[in-house]
Amino acid sequence: MRLKVYPIAAVFLILIAANLQPAVASTLVYCSEGSPETFNPQLSASGTTFDASSRQIYNRLVEFKLGTTEIVPGLALRWDISEDGLEYTFYLRKKVSFHSTKYFTPSRDFNADDVLYSFNRQRNTSAPWYKVSGGVYKYFNDMGFNKLIRDVIKLDDYRIKIVLNKPDSPFLSNMAMDFASILSKEYADSVMKAGRPEQLDIKPVGTGPFMFVKYEKDAFIRYRAHPGYWRGREKLDKLVFAITVDPSVRYARLRTGECQVMAYPLPTDIKSMKKNPAIKVAEQPGLNTAYWAFNVRKAPFDQARVRQAMNYAINRQAILDVIYQGTGKIADSVIPPTIWSWKALDNVYVYNPDRAKKLLAEAGFAGGFDTNIWAMPVQRPYNPNARKMAELIQQDLSKIGIKANIVTYEWGTYLKKSREGEHQTILLGWTGDNGDPDNFFSPLLSCAAAETGNNRSFWCNKEFDDLISLARVEQEQGKRKKLYRRAEVIFKQEAPWMTIAHSVRYQAYLKSVQGLKMDPFGGIYFSGVSLK
Amino acid sequence: MSQLLLRRLLLIVPGVLGITALTFFLIRLAPGDPILLLAGERGVSAERYAELQHQFGFDQPLFIQFTDYLWQVLNGDLGTSVVTQTPVLEEFGKLFPATLELAVIAMIIATLIAIPAGVLAAVKRNTLIDHCVTAISLVGYSMPIFWWALLLILLFSVNLGWMPVAGRLNFIYDIQSVTGFMLIDTLLAGDQDAFLDALHHLVLPAIVLATIPLAVITRMTRSSMLEVLKQDYIRTARAKGLSEYSVIFKHALRNALIPVITVIGLQISILMTGAILTETIFSWPGIGKWILEAVYRRDYPVVQGGVLLMAGLVILVNTTVDLLYVVINPALRKQK
């Protein structure tokens, strides 16, 4: 009798054990495109580095709502802006814990000291921290924070005030950028004390959804969910970046399930991916614009009519079909449609060679003229093949009697020489940083940019310039939108550029991946993602 | 012998020095300013440019930069990567085992197949077997590696599912890196499954990397064997009534191997430096990919240090092969 009890008991025990066993840890493998330069986003300007650091490990005071360019509270619960637009007071979130890792155990929660440290490391050129790890704070300087910020003041443990030198409405958007991530002061102090300050930038500690576990250069990065994440623990237990440089190999790994998400699919692979029932392809216009700029300092491009003629002379649809192969969208505006101030324009240029000829004749160039087209030597996110694009433009120009020869240089030289205005016309583009319209208008088309040469057409229009300067200090979004609309009308009429295209960005992942959103800035966030 | 050794070792010095100078000036002659490349479309102001130049030490005259660099190298410091801010030597140390592991396995595959194949082709000269071996090795030698690797991946990994696509180990295994050699580390960790998985991951990249050396060694073995088989002492051996096995493997092969070893030595250096494509495709974290990327980014310290270390290694391998040659060939030993 006793013997018979054993099997039943055993079955029960097994059942109990099975129930007690924790659910299988869910691990997501992402085939990323390269190795990060560092794990401190302050030191880099590369999307690959941001994907591996700021976007999984850190938080910012304000953040972009995932999948949009909209600003939402991050480590700051809320903020006040003074009447004059010079003082921003941030009210910090309480009970936010830093990662507790093998190499650091925090003794306190996040507070104002961490904010102070994170900004002062990039600001105080004389402080010992400034020079650590090369001390090149690219974005902090590029976005003008070194000149814009007068002071960062700790009001109390949970209030921080940032004082600006002049009002600046893109400031909040900039505060959501990767370089404004918040690092732990306590950790910084501990590694400094140990005489290994660089460790801060190699073995990161943040407040974000995932914590760093291990990195092997050119091989992989391992993360683990941050158990005490203030937005709630992630559904994924582990996250792995499998560094895979070749896009065809990334696709092969996706197909065999070695990874569930892949970075940057090849445009030529998109068709086959869409046919694969296990794979989902998401797409979104990238935050970029490719343009063809005319140097207004050189005749005959000093005449608006000639520049307009150029806009009519080129068949942009053909460029889209041949160069972008369906991975682009015709650009009529300076800014891409993912930016909040974008709205379809009423009057856009349509391919019309006759109209172009007429305009040329009116400008006194009925017989055409000779010019050059500068074409970039490299592939960029906004332009897959500038050289071939220049050839198409060259053909279209020959139809209206303009003889153009194509010029190209090594990339660094190309940028330098064109900044000095050696070109007559040039192909170039821009990728946005913060989702603010000013981030396109000011650096590319302002009179100040014509001085530095970033404005490759060197076009400086007082009315246009006043409008974008006003829009930069205006706080109210509705009013800013109207100012930018008016600026765009002038831009179209004056035609310092021909806007070419916004390239479409793709993301490919297995259908078992849930909740992955496309980031308009071109990055990837695994917060909120789960596996079915 | 010791005199020869000393002479060979002394020759390394001008070799390494020459390579250092060549790399240092060539990478600077190549168009492309690292600061401008770093800045991209956004550009950099003149004052910021000057500041960065100073920070990287590019504002010094080139000759001063070179002598500074030499002094640094003599003190065992290869500098710090401009991109990652990590010491070059440290990065090299982390990546080199992966390259070496792959190269060794590839070399083992290549020699184990090539030598018997070459011998077979020579012995069965002008038969179908000989023609097949010659044809296959010719194809192997002219195979575009990139295409060949993708073909193997598509066939064995994607379609048949027999092999992993890329990487060194499945991510379910988390092995502590001790030596950097995955096969050894998995054994140290006592994880048999991980060891087998690491071996599994080595198959395709090793085959791809072995392809060209395999072809070269096969052809070398074949022609060297043919040469030896014509010799009088082989006829004598046969006349003595030795078995064919004994004639081929004891008398012919040992003599035929001398030039083959030279070729193997040369192939090892080619494998180390030529692994760029294989490493890129199979996401193999090795030296080839590292140096290539540094060239793209004009990361001067990494290019200089990486090339210097690889060149030193190649010189070392070649010297060893030369010395080995002397050991194998008694005739040479007497001459010197």
> Residue A482 and residue A321: Cα distance in Å, rounded?
33
CA nearest to A522, candidates A175, A45, A119, A122: A45
Q: What is the mean pLDDT of chain A?
A: 91
Hey, are the CB atoms on B85 and A249 less than 8 Å from each other? no
Stretch A102-126: mean pLDDT: 95
- Stronger pLDDT, A3 or B279, i.e. the higher one: B279
A39 to chain B: closest CA residue: B84
The pLDDT confidence band at residue A268, using thresholds 50, 70 and 90, is confident
pLDDT of residue A110: 97
- Cβ neighbors of B161 (< 8 A, separation 6 or more) are A256
Stretch A121-146: mean pLDDT: 86
- A3, pLDDT greater than 70: no
pLDDT of residue B1: 62
Q: State what percent of residues in chain A have pLDDT above 90.
A: 72
Q: State what percent of residues in chain B have pLDDT above 70.
A: 97
The pLDDT confidence band at residue A286, using thresholds 50, 70 and 90, is confident
CA nearest to B254, candidates B231, B284, B288: B231
Q: How many C-beta neighbours within 10 Å does residue B245 have?
A: 8
> Residue A361 and residue A306: Cα distance in Å, rounded?
9
If you ran DSSP here, which 8-state letter would residue A22 be given? P
**pLDDT per residue as tens digits for the range B318-333:** 888 777 777 777 666 6
The pLDDT confidence band at residue A11, using thresholds 50, 70 and 90, is very low
Q: Which two tokens stand for residue A113?
A: 């000291």
- A155, pLDDT greater than 80: yes
Element (H, E) at A346: none
Element (H, E) at A404: strand A403-407
- A15, pLDDT greater than 70: no
Stretch A42-50: mean pLDDT: 89
Task: Tell which of B48, B82, B165, B178 to mutate to test the A interface (max A CBs under 10 Å).
Answer: B165
DSSP-derived 3-state class of residue A368: coil
- How many inter-chain contacts (A to B, CB under 8 Å) are there? 129
Stretch A470-490: mean pLDDT: 92
If you ran DSSP here, which 8-state letter would residue A383 be given? B
Residue type, A109: D
- A507, pLDDT greater than 50: yes
Checking phi first, is residue A513 left (phi over 0); if not, alpha (psi -120 to 50) or beta? beta
pLDDT of residue A24: 57
> Which CA distances in Å does B1 have to B13, B313, B314?
20, 22, 22
The reply to whether B159 touches chain A by the CB within 8 Å rule is no
**pLDDT per residue as tens digits for the range A205-237:** 999 999 999 999 999 999 999 999 999 999 999
If you ran DSSP here, which 8-state letter would residue B163 be given? S
The reply to whether B48 touches chain A by the CB within 8 Å rule is yes
C-beta of residue A388 within 8 angstroms of C-beta of residue A323: yes
Hey, are the CB atoms on B157 and A245 less than 8 Å from each other? no
The answer for A 84-123 residues in CB contact with B (under 8 A) is none
> Sign of dihedral through CA atoms B8, B96, A50, A111?
negative
> Which CA distances in Å does A5 have to A12, A13, A14, A15?
11, 12, 14, 16
Using an 8 Å CB-CB cutoff, list chain A residues near B287.
none
Hey, are the CB atoms on B174 and A413 less than 8 Å from each other? no
- List of E strands, chain B: none
- Stronger pLDDT, B8 or A257, i.e. the higher one: A257
> Which CA distances in Å does A159 have to A90, A162, A183, A382?
6, 10, 17, 41
- CA end-to-end span of chain A: 46
C-beta of residue B140 within 8 angstroms of C-beta of residue B199: no
Stretch B167-175: mean pLDDT: 89
pLDDT of residue B55: 76
B180 to chain A: closest CA residue: A216
DSSP A53-121: TTTTT--BSEEEPTTSS-EEESSEEEEEE-TTS-EEEEEEPSSPPPP--SS---SS---HHHHHHHHHH
The pLDDT confidence band at residue A1, using thresholds 50, 70 and 90, is very low
The pLDDT confidence band at residue B296, using thresholds 50, 70 and 90, is confident
Hey, are the CB atoms on B36 and A415 less than 8 Å from each other? yes
**pLDDT per residue as tens digits for the range B112-169:** 999 999 999 988 888 999 999 999 999 988 888 889 999 999 999 999 999 999 999 9
Hey, are the CB atoms on B38 and A45 less than 8 Å from each other? yes
Rounded to the nearest angstrom, the minimum Cα separation between A161 and chain B is 28
The reply to whether A27 touches chain B by the CB within 8 Å rule is yes
The reply to whether A252 touches chain B by the CB within 8 Å rule is yes
Hey, are the CB atoms on B290 and A218 less than 8 Å from each other? yes
Q: Which two tokens stand for residue B230?
A: 């014509």
**pLDDT per residue as tens digits for the range A426-467:** 999 998 888 899 999 999 999 988 988 889 999 999 999 999
pLDDT of residue A166: 92
The pLDDT confidence band at residue B210, using thresholds 50, 70 and 90, is very high
- Stronger pLDDT, B264 or A359, i.e. the higher one: A359
**pLDDT per residue as tens digits for the range A380-439:** 889 989 999 999 999 999 999 999 999 998 888 898 899 999 999 999 999 888 889 999
Hey, are the CB atoms on B285 and A243 less than 8 Å from each other? yes
Rounded to the nearest angstrom, the minimum Cα separation between A220 and chain B is 9
**pLDDT per residue as tens digits for the range B222-243:** 999 898 888 888 888 888 888 8
SS (H, E, C) B98-149: HHHHHHHHHHHHHHHHHHHHHHHHHHCCCCHHHHHHHHHHHHHHCCCHHHHH
CA nearest to A179, candidates A352, A1, A54: A54
At what angle are helices B300-328 and B253-273 packed, to 10 degrees? 170
The pLDDT confidence band at residue B335, using thresholds 50, 70 and 90, is low
Element (H, E) at B290: helix B287-297
Is residue A432 packed enough to be buried (19+ CB in 10 Å), middle (13-18) or exposed (0-12)? buried
Stretch B103-117: mean pLDDT: 92
Q: How far is CA A276 from the centre of its chain?
A: 29
Domains within chain B, CATH numbers bracketed: 2-74 (no CATH), 91-334 (1.10.3720.10)
CA nearest to B99, candidates B285, B309, B303, B283: B285
- A9, pLDDT greater than 70: no
A440 to chain B: closest CA residue: B42
C-beta of residue A446 within 8 angstroms of C-beta of residue A437: no
pLDDT of residue A378: 85
> Residue A349 and residue B330: Cα distance in Å, rounded?
84
Using an 8 Å CB-CB cutoff, list chain B residues near A430.
41
DSSP-derived 3-state class of residue A278: coil
ipTM, 2 decimals?
0.85
DSSP-derived 3-state class of residue B18: helix
Q: How many C-beta neighbours within 10 Å does residue A70 have?
A: 14
> Residue B77 and residue B94: Cα distance in Å, rounded?
16
Nearest to A134 among B85, B154, B293 (CB): B85
Place of tokens 């080995």: B324
**Highest mean pLDDT pick, A10-19, A284-293, B246-255:** A284-293
The reply to whether B42 touches chain A by the CB within 8 Å rule is yes
Secondary-structure percent of chain B, ordered helix, strand, coil, rounded to 5: 80, 0, 20
- B273, pLDDT greater than 80: no
Q: State what percent of residues in chain A have pLDDT above 70.
A: 95
pLDDT of residue A391: 96
